[in-house]
Amino acid sequence: MFGRIENLLLWAVLFGLPFFSVQAQHATQVRLQLQPKTHDLEVWQDIQWVNTGQSAQNDLILYDWNHAFSSESSPLAWRFSDEFLRHFFFGPANEKGNTKLFELTDQAGQALTYERFPDQIDLIKVHLPRPVAPQEKVYFRLHYKLHLPEDSFTSYGVGSNEVYQLREFLIMPTRFVNNQFLTYSHLSLEDQCVDPFDVSLQVELPTGWQAAADMPVKSAPSTSNTSQFEGHIRTPLTLVMAPKLVWEQYVINDCSITSGIQETRLQTPEKAIIWERIVQFTHEKSGLPPAKNWLITQAAYNNNPFYGLNQVPAFMSPFDVGFLYEMKCLKTFLSEYLPETLGLDMRESAWIADGIQYSWMMEYVQRYHPDAKMMGRVGHWKLLKRFHLFSLDFNEQYRYFYMLSLRRNTDQSLNAPKPDLIKYNEKIASRYKAGLCQVYLQHWIGNEAVQLAEQQLFEVGKLKNIQRIDWENALKSQAKDHDLTPYFSTLIDQRTVIDYQFSKVKIQGDSLSFQLLSKNNIDLAIPVYGLKKGKTIFTHWIEHPVPNKLYTFATQGADQLALNHEQLMPEMNARNNYAAAQKGKWFNKSFKLNLVKDLEEPQYYQWLYVPTLEYNAYDGGLVGFRLHNRTMLEKPFSVDLNPSYATSAKSITGVGSLSWNWFPRNGSLYESRLVAPISFYHYAPQAGYMRINPSWFLKFRPEGMRSNRKQSLMVREVIIQKDPTTYIVEENAENYAVFNVRWIDNLFEIKRYHNYMSDLQLSDKFGKVSGEIGFRKLLSHNRQLNVRLFAGAFLYRNTQSSYFDFGVDRPTDYLFDYNYYGRSDKSGLWSQQLVHAEGDFKSKLRTRYADQWITTANVSTNIWNWFEVYGDAGVLKNQHEDAQFIYDSGLKLNLVPDYFEMYFPVHSNNGFEISQYQYSQKIRFVFTISTNTLFNLFTRKWF
């Protein structure tokens, strides 16, 4: 333990470091003592803070982000909730972090009063004993204990084999900007924003343990196994501790790199060459030698991996092992280097660092790996070269990953704060767009001008923390002949759709003229290309395109005219960017036919064909051929035809559809879709049905892009034509049409879940209305309560058939909405399939349908891990009968909620079911093999 604060000077002498440096003004001395058995880190810390503002300060705000893990109501917990990180809420309490603050005193040893923010428990407001004047220093001391979280939450914390990778774990003053403190909470974004600090760090470890930090080592472990580090930081301290550090160190000039990114298939000299190349490249681009101790952790890479590379299974090995290692090291090093060197606020201005980082990464690959393909060595296989996906250069992936978000209408402006971004944009799309915008600048104003602006920015960064205005000034000073205002106002500050196209193209001798049309009147410089047999003959940039202005160029032998041919500008639709540059051409583009699926090639009219093989109980094997124009990116209009031959029914079946999509860019409505599908399959042996279902869908995000709350309105007409069959006897059920309006309002998260549905159905045979309310409540002791309420009633009924009745345990699905594997089976495995709709009972009671009205309640809660108990209760009314109370109860095995569940009935109106005959046939299951549904399971946290 340390003495009183008056002994600071003696403490500094013992550490061998002047406590406070002039360079940073702010300084801290930290002594850490690791207790591996309990995963605790005891901390004694002294801090000097200087008021750099213009007025006196009465309070000080401190980060305590380790404490964000202590509550299921912290901002971090809410973040985990909407990203479906179940383990945080249902895992053991000792795997989560917390902070116990024992002492907080001033220079005189007097206790300081403090409080945590009510809604931000990871921030501490310290009340100073007296106002601190501008440029005055204040000293205070802390003694606290950190219980460290498991690294499964954020990649940082306690890992396997007792490896501790820590970042943003110390209590530190928040950055002081414009006379006020930042109040950022931990959101697992690696964006804690601090002012420059001089740091002296003493780490006390168990015997034999080792430590590494992103600062120079002052003294190696002695007999007391204490390591000392000292240095200057502009980003939060990174610290690694382990019984044995399997790390590699490389020294390139004045740059020392300690790397935890392992690759046993490469020899140390090969890795050294890679690191030397990365450091020299960074030096060349920034104009500054990366002279610092850099700690490159595996946790840093895991948190922000190279998407695309990390999704490829190792056994496929499409990339050379050296290339994989190099890309990992390059990406992680730049992710550490840029925020540290520029001092950026990475929550508000990350797009500046992202633009520099990803444009550098593209240039690096182009320089050192010019033949690299997006799909690795697979792209060189002759068999696959016809596929655009496999022929693309490595750097093309940035555009396509960004376009995936743009075409879904989920992209966001680059200047949007990180917490407002959906996960896909925060991790991928917005970062890639920033890099693409930087490349666009390089081609427009010149690569040299952009590099000089970058180097100017790094020079400014040596003196202060960089802000947006510094980057704007640097670029404008190097591009005086260009107006950059549209660049910042459109590409950075807005998400306006960019879409240029040709109009009134005329060919006269050796020249051609045209007008440019711009959707939304975008005023961005656009390149015009002349192509001959796909190769570029000329390129002209048009700045400030003017509507209705006639532009004239010499053809120079070009046979095709193109806008934005190299996709330098992030344009929504490039399919209308081509025009014939020679007379006599019927089409502006050629046709291309591809197998299975491919990426979009805007210079072609693309069609794709797919052999298909499916199965259901009545058609048997469905062998078919699918023809469509749907590439891997959304399109405004699509055609999809899939005829097939049913091997059991021995007839032609299949499905086809036309769809039109609109994506409004402003307001809560984000998608409008008109669909006209038609299908023909069998619903019973030798009995087919045709379903025509013209529909209009409107989708809303009422609380903004980041929220998981979504609403939808569906208006449709369902027309069913059915062949009669003796397999099922249903009077008046063969042919019918139903007009259906359905409104859904849902919010799917771990902590918050609600699902509201109202449904109206009208036909000549019946009219009915129904509603559903569902919610989940996270309880104490890691329990969750699930409740669903359903009510439905007939408005009128002109049929004696029970086919349109409300189902108690299994809807009849007369609209063919549900994916029944054996929809007409009365026994056997497929008859036990459960769909969460209408009554949603699990036991098959004597009364299975209601032809007047029904109300039900379905409740379940977990008892241990995946095991839950459930209970259903309700009242139903059939014509000419009294109202009837129904109930059931049992055990539920909830392996993947809503996707793979099993129900074991115990007691119901049927009695004690476990002891009854053929109990195995009473077991119900939910099992989803729909690719779209499964895709939503794995992508719901991203979009």
Domains 1-242 and 500-587 share a fold: yes
For residue 433, report the phi and psi dihedrals to the nearest 5 degrees: -60, -40
Q: How confident is the model at residue 307 (pLDDT cuts 50, 70, 90)?
A: confident
Q: How confident is the model at residue 620 (pLDDT cuts 50, 70, 90)?
A: confident
Give residue-wise pLDDT tens across range 898-942: 778 999 999 999 999 999 999 999 999 998 765 555 556 556 777
Phi-psi region of 667 (alpha: psi -120 to 50; beta: other; left: phi over 0): left
Q: What's the pLDDT score for residue 587? A: 59
Closest CA to 234 of 547, 24, 500, 514: 24
Q: What's the pLDDT score for residue 222? A: 61
Q: What's the pLDDT score for residue 6? A: 36
Closest CA to 484 of 498, 496, 495, 469: 469
Q: How confident is the model at residue 585 (pLDDT cuts 50, 70, 90)?
A: low
Higher per-residue confidence, 143 vs 393: 143
To the nearest whole number, what is the mean pLDDT of the chain?
A: 89
H or E segment and range at residue 637: strand 637-646
Give residue-wise pLDDT tens across range 148-176: 999 999 999 999 889 999 999 999 999 99
**Distance between CA atoms of 578 and 557, rounded to whole angstroms?**
16
Asked if the model's pLDDT at residue 11 lies above 70, the reply is no
Sign of CA dihedral 323, 325, 328, 333: negative
Q: What's the pLDDT score for residue 286? A: 95
Asked if the model's pLDDT at residue 818 lies above 70, the reply is yes
Closest CA to 297 of 339, 366, 229, 246: 246
**DSSP string of 114-152, one letter each residue:** EEEETTEEEEEEEEEEEEEPTT-EEEEEEEEEEEPPBTT
Q: What's the pLDDT score for residue 732? A: 47
**Distance between CA atoms of 201 and 216, rounded to whole angstroms?**
10
Give residue-wise pLDDT tens across range 703-732: 989 999 999 999 999 999 988 777 665 554
Q: Which of 14-23, 318-327, 384-393 has the lowest mean pLDDT?
A: 14-23
The total of other beta-carbon atoms located within 10 Å of residue 54's CB is 9
Q: Output DSSP code: residue 174.
A: P
Q: What's the pLDDT score for residue 629? A: 86
Q: What's the pLDDT score for residue 822? A: 77
Q: How confident is the model at residue 745 (pLDDT cuts 50, 70, 90)?
A: very high
Q: How confident is the model at residue 881 (pLDDT cuts 50, 70, 90)?
A: very high
Strands 709-722 and 687-692: antiparallel
Asked if the model's pLDDT at residue 775 lies above 60, the reply is yes
Q: What's the pLDDT score for residue 310? A: 60
Beta bridge partners of 103: 143
Q: What's the pLDDT score for residue 519? A: 82
Residue percentage of the chain with pLDDT more than 90: 64
Distance set, CA 910 to CA 52, 347, 887 (Å): 76, 59, 9
The SS3 call for residue 820 is coil
Q: Which of 88-102, 123-137, 451-465, 622-636 has the lowest mean pLDDT?
A: 622-636
Tokens representing 60? 């000080």
**Distance between CA atoms of 233 and 236, rounded to whole angstroms?**
7
| Cβ 912 vs Cβ 920: under 8 Å | no
Strands 238-242 and 210-213: antiparallel
Q: What's the pLDDT score for residue 592? A: 76
**Distance between CA atoms of 585 and 866, rounded to whole angstroms?**
64
**In a 10 Å sphere around its CB, with 0-12 CB exposed, 13-18 middle and 19+ buried, how is residue 246 labelled?**
exposed
Domain 500-587: which topology?
Immunoglobulin-like (2.60.40)
| Cβ 886 vs Cβ 841: under 8 Å | yes
The total of other beta-carbon atoms located within 10 Å of residue 924's CB is 23
> Would you say domain 1-242 falls under CATH 1.10.1060.10?
no
Asked if the model's pLDDT at residue 805 lies above 90, the reply is yes
Closest CA to 712 of 752, 755, 675: 755
Mean pLDDT of 812-824: 84
Mean pLDDT of 433-444: 96
Q: What is the residue extent of each domain of the chain?
A: 1-242, 352-492, 500-587, 589-708, 730-943
